[in-house]
Amino acid sequence: MTESMKILPDKGFYRIGETVQIRARIDGSEGGMLECRILHLADEVVKLLMPIAASQAPQDVVVRWNPPDIVSRGYGVEVEHIEPSGVVTRGSTAFDVLEAWTSRPRYGFLSDFSPNRTDIATTVAELARFHINGVQFYDWHYRHDNPLPPTEVFLDPLGRELSIQTVRDLIDAASSKGMASMAYVAVYGASMDFWREKPEWALCDEHGEPHIFEGDFLGLMDPTNGGGWANHLHGRCDEIVDSLPFAGIHIDQYGEPRTAFNRRGEEVNLPAAFSDFVRELKRRRPNSPTTFNAVKNWPIDTLLQAPMDFSYIELWPDMPTYGDIAEVVENAYVGSGHKPVVIALYLPAAHEVNIRLANALIAAHGGSRIELGEGGRLLSDPYFPLHEALSPRLNDWLRRSSDFRVRYGELLCSPATPSRAEVLVPDGVWTVVREVPGWLVINLVNMSDIAEARWDEEHMPPSPLGPVSVEVQADPGVREVWAASPDGHDQSLHRVEWLMHDGSVRVSVPSLEIWTMVAIEFTSEEGDGQ
């Protein structure tokens, strides 16, 4: 039996009432039968059978299904093509039904808006394969202070030739695949020409010298609510969503300065200005998604109180440990009242172990990572057009891990809440414990031999472990204990050995490569961890 069938979901996510379409690519074969099993957690929901005609050429078979009207639910899809000779080919994917994409954002990026693109459909379809449901349009604009261009084709601030028609076409293509498009806007960046025209709006240091970004690329403006620049930029944001079918606004900052003054020498409260900018955007457009980049996790405490639809945090090597990543995601998830968290973390494609460990920790703590975009390529640099190709091995793992996060979103994301249950595991195994009605979920991340490693420096993989003994305090009434992992092709929940002893559940997990999820199922929704 082989795992070689390409499975393509047609959307990044589905809303209630939408028909799910799964496309299975079958190579030349002698025909036979296609069996498609759709599962919710450990339960098979439906089995669909379709006859396959013999064909020498590849053919696409589309499986259609109408899921129940239940939101925030993920499903696994397992497909087998069984030929008359007994040859079996297997493939898998996942999908979820959500009320809004922002409840479980899976953020991708687009950065090529050149005229006459011919690969728009295939680019967006590739993102759907990874279940991307929101897309950041990075540097799509004419000028930071005047995003909409004066002509259909224009030069951006770095001299790239762009087309506003390409922007429209990409937005439309993304929408057809269940993806929301977010317009990138810098909260205080202005072209140097505009900055010189409005010197009274400039942001200065303690000596009254203006803040300039990247030499003489941009002048920084005072974003204080009600000020000239803030009013100007809010007007431009209104123009963006009125003129183009963007779903919402992604707001950026540069992380520095953290202390600044206006032209009158008065200190500017940048955290308050950032938060107020979000509030004003939501006041003007309450139904438009909004997020704000907390560069280096700053000023996260203030931003978590703003009405963002999800937190977006860009981490840099000054927070270099894997423990830093885990702490940042957990604090944002808890501090926002369990809003989703998206992490930007720039790693080269060659650092596959770092990527897998970082992604596992982020997902285990209820977050996700922006990493895939143009042509299914990797976001490896803060200037998004400098993306990198994926190796076939990394591409395969990222696809499997994205399937896993979608399939088990209920156990990983909200409404999952942090648990105080104590867990005993071997040294080198990190645990993240979550409570879900009827479940206690223990994520195991293998940090054996690499607990002191930095995410920004290439290192060896952790030593595989197994079997792994896990003991956790739990209420009586355990029905079953399951385990699943994105590390292999089989992502199903499998029963694992367990027993109750003195108020604890003792579990034996057969193996741990990078990340395994243990899910303890109770006989009623009242049962959970201590």
101-185+227-261+268-412 and 419-522 agree in CATH topology: no
Of the two residues 476 and 384, the one the predictor is more confident about is 384
Q: What is the mean pLDDT of the chain?
A: 95
Distance of CA 67 to the CA centre of its chain: 23
Query: What three-state secondary structure class fits 340?
Result: coil
CA-nearest of 287, 344, 363, 337 to 74 is: 363
Tell me the pTM. 0.96
| Domain edges within the chain | 2-97, 101-185+227-261+268-412, 419-522
User: Percent of the chain scored above 70 by pLDDT?
Assistant: 98
d(CA 179, CA 373): 12
CATH topology of domain 101-185+227-261+268-412: TIM Barrel (3.20.20)
Q: Which residues contact 226 (CB under 8 A, 6 or more apart)?
A: none
Instruction: Please state which CATH number belongs to domain 419-522.
Output: 2.60.40.1180
In the predicted structure, residue 525 carries a pLDDT above the cut 70: no
> Tens digit of pLDDT for each residue in 216-253?
899 999 999 999 999 999 999 999 999 999 999 999 99
Amino acid 524: pLDDT: 75
* pLDDT(499) > 80: yes
Q: What is the pLDDT of residues 448-468, one digit of tens each?
A: 999 889 999 999 999 999 899
How would you classify the pairing of strands 20-26 and 478-484?
A: unpaired
pLDDT in tens, 263-311: 999 999 999 999 999 999 999 999 999 999 999 999 999 999 999 999 9
Kindly tell me if the per-residue pLDDT of 447 is higher than 60: yes
Q: Which CATH architecture has domain 2-97?
A: Sandwich (2.60)
Task: Tell me how many helices (H) and strands (E) the chain has.
Answer: 10, 35
For residue 368, give every residue at least 6 positions away whose Cβ sits within 8 Å of its Cβ, in sequence order, or none. 104, 105, 106, 107, 340, 341, 342, 343, 362, 405
